[in-house]
Structure formats: C-alpha cells, structure tokens
Amino acid sequence: METTGTSPVARLLPIAGPDKLQPHSALPAPAFKVPFMADKKTILIVDDDRELVDALRTVLEKQGYHVIQAHDGHQGKQMIYNHHPSLVILDMMMPRMGGYPVLEHFRDKESPPIIMITANEGTRHKAYAEYLGVVDYLRKPFAMDRLLEAVDKAMNPPAAASPAPDSPAQ
C-alpha cells in the first residue's frame, strides 16, 4: 500500500508539471450560442466526485480560469442559467440527474460548449453525446494534459476557413 499521501484521483489523473502549465493570455470570446456576455474564463465542473472536482479545479485555476462547481445535473443546469460559464465539464453518471438529461435539455437551447467526462467505455454513449452536441468526450481516467487540450480547443475554436481565392484562368 502506498503511503505517500497521494489521493487515488491524483494517481489516476496525473497532473502536468509546471513546465506544461502555461497561463492563458487574453482569450477570445468563446464560440457558443448564448446572446449574453459570459465571463470569458469561467468553467463549470458538474461531477459528483469531489476529489476529482478538486483536482480539476486546481489544474484549471493554475491555468488562470475561474472554476465553479455543481454536484449533479439539476445544480448544473441551474448554474448554467445563473452564472453563464464559458465552458462546462460534465460527468455522464451522477445521482439525481446525470449528464445526458442536461445535454438533452440544452440541445436546442443557447448554451456554452460542453465537454463530457465519463468512466463509461461504450461507443454508443460517445456517439449519443456527440449527437447531443458535446465538443469533446473524455474517458476516465484521463491525463490532465488531454483535458487541458480539450479545454483550450473548446475555449479557442479554430476560425472558420475562408474559401480559397479563385485561381486565374489560363
């Protein structure tokens, strides 16, 4: 048995070293459907695993994000409406209300981008989450570097490619 004091979550989700944690400078406005002005740096984590939420909060706050949390889908839905986060990290399986009902609720509504995290291995689950509009889907355990890539991609979506100019006729 390990006696280093490392939590099980810390062992499962290796946190990137300080050399890989670069703070975000000015973030462009997130590309999501809400007409209201969102705090460009607020991330809502909706997960019932408090140790995981604490680990994610630590990593994301080191990146300069403001992190808020909810512990079930009901709280998560309410916090999306009340706090207008720039991004939501949503667990699939939680008590009271899981992630799918939250995704279904916001499918045709204005909402921030959502990254789904889950311990579920099923490919049908991933396909359904993508159908409901998640911007990324991470299976637990995942490396924190992978989460940071997903967050960066969601917060800084690539600009729409402009059509190539017509080539001159020869």
Give the DSSP per-residue string, 90-118: EES--SSS-HHHHHHHHTTS----EEEEE
Peptide bond into 30 cis (omega under 30): no
Query: pLDDT 10s per residue in the chain (170 long)?
Result: 444 554 444 444 444 443 443 444 333 433 444 444 444 589 999 999 999 999 999 999 999 999 999 999 999 999 999 999 999 999 999 998 999 999 999 988 889 999 999 998 889 999 999 999 999 999 999 999 999 999 999 998 887 655 555 555 55
Q: Which CATH architecture has domain 36-155?
A: 3-Layer(aba) Sandwich (3.40)
What is the number of other CB atoms lying within 10 angstroms of the CB of residue 136? Answer: 19
pLDDT at 50: 96
Look at residues 91, 88, 68 and name the one whose alpha carbon lies nearest to residue 140.
Answer: 91
- Residues 31, 11: Cα–Cα separation, whole Å: 34
Describe the crossing of helices 73-83 and 99-106 by its angle, rounded to 10 degrees. 40
Assess contact for 112 and 85: CB atoms under 8 A.
Answer: yes
